[in-house]
Structure 1
Amino acid sequence: MKTYFYIIAILIGFSSCSSGKEEKLEPVDFSIDQYPMEFVLTEFSTMMVDSQVTGEDLPYREKYIFREDLTFTKSRTENGETLQLEGEYSRVSMSDENYFKLNYDLTNDLIESCSSDDTEHLIIDSPMKIRGTANACDYPTKTYERVK
C-alpha cells in the first residue's frame, strides 16, 4: 500500500512542477500553391572547401518571391546595397524532381546558372524548401526556406 502511495505522490509531484500550459508552436505547412511565396537563403555550402555557412554568418541576404501571376523577384542585400531582378517562372519536372524554372528579364551576375542563357533552376524539395542547382558548375549549393 505504501508503494502505491509513493507512486501517486511522485506522479502528483511531477505534474505540479509544470508552470502552466506550455504553448506548442506548430510548424506552418504551406501549400506550393499559396501565394505569394517568399523563400529566404538559410544556408550555402561549397564542395571545394567543404564548408557550410548559415544564419548570421551568411555574407549576404538573398530571397525569392513567387507570385500567382507566374512572375518572381530575386533580391540580394550585401553591404547595405540591394540588387533586385525580376522575371517569369514555371514549374517543370525533370529526372523525377520538381523545379522552378526562372526566366530573367535582364542578364546579371545575380543569375546562378550553368547555361549561358538568362535562366535559373531551383529544385523544389518541399513546399517549405528549395535549393539551387548551379553547384554543378562550381557555384555554392544554396538552400532557401519559406517564410511566407
Structure 2
Amino acid sequence: MKKIIIILVVLASIYSCTKETDDMAGNMEYTGKWELVKMTGSLEGSEYTGLDMDWQETYIINEDETFTKTRVRGDSTIVALGTYTFTEEGLMGESELDLITYIEFSHNTDNAIIGSCGFQSLTEYLYFNSNNKLISTWNACDGPGLEYIKK
C-alpha cells in the first residue's frame, strides 16, 4: 500500500511540475526500436538478461507520435498500439536543476502487456536515464524493473 501511495505522489508531481515538450516528439534520438535488455525483481540478486528473462519485448517509437509494443513469451506474441507524449520534470540536484525526460505511452485498448501502477490503466510511464536507456516506472508498485536500449 505504501508503494502505491508513493507512485501516486510521483505521478501527481509529474503532472503538476512538468511541461509538455512537443518538439521532442520529432527528435530522432528517441524514435526507433527500443529492446528490453534487463529485468529485475524486488528480491536482491533477481536480475535477468537475454533469454533468461520471462519475456522478450520491444517498443517501436514512431516520429508521428505513435508506438507499437510487442511482447513475446514462449509461443505467444502480444502487440499493443497507441500514442505517446513527452514531458520533462525538474529535480533539484546538488548544484543545479536536473531534467528527467518521461515518455507517456497511451494504449488504444486494454492489454495484458501494459506495465502500469494504475488498476486497468491504459497508460505507462517510462523515463530516459543519463545512460540513454529507457526505464519503466512499473517497479515502483511491485512490477518488474525493466530496462530498454535503442537498437
TM-score (norm: length of structure 2): 0.70
TM-score of the superposed pair, with normalisation by structure 1: 0.72
1:46-105 alpha-carbon deviations (Å, 9 max, x no partner): 123541001121121100000000000000011122100000001112353211100000
Instruction: Indicate conservation of the 8 Å contact 1:90/1:102, yes or no.
Output: yes
The aligned counterpart of 2:148 is 144
Secondary structure in 2 aligned to 1:100? strand
Do 1:32 and 1:127's aligned partners in 2 also have CA atoms closer than 8 Å? Answer: no
Unpaired runs of at least 5, structure 1: 1-30
Query: CA 1:72 to 1:126, structure 2 compared with 1: closer, same or farther past 3 Å?
Result: farther
| Cα 1:43/1:70, change in 2 over 3 Å | same
AA in 2 matched with 1:109: A
RMSD: 2.0
Counterparts in 2 of 1:9-28, with a 5 A limit?
none
Checking the alignment, whether the CA contact within 8 Å between 1:63 and 1:75 is kept in structure 2 is yes
Distance in 2, matches of 1:32 and 1:68, equals: 8
Q: Quote the Cα distance in structure 1 between the aligned partners of 2:60 and 2:129.
A: 17
Offset, 1:32: 4.9
Percent identity over paired residues: 31
Out of 87, 99, 104, the residue aligned to residue 101 of structure 1 is: 104
Larger radius of gyration: 1
Provide the aligned length of Structure 1 versus Structure 2: 117
Q: How far, CA to CA, are the matches of 2:29 and 2:101 in structure 1?
A: 17
Corresponding residue for residue 110 of structure 1: 113
CA distance in 2, matches of 1:93, 1:104: 20
Distance 1:125 1:52 in 2: 18
Unaligned runs of 5+ in 2: 1-25, 92-99
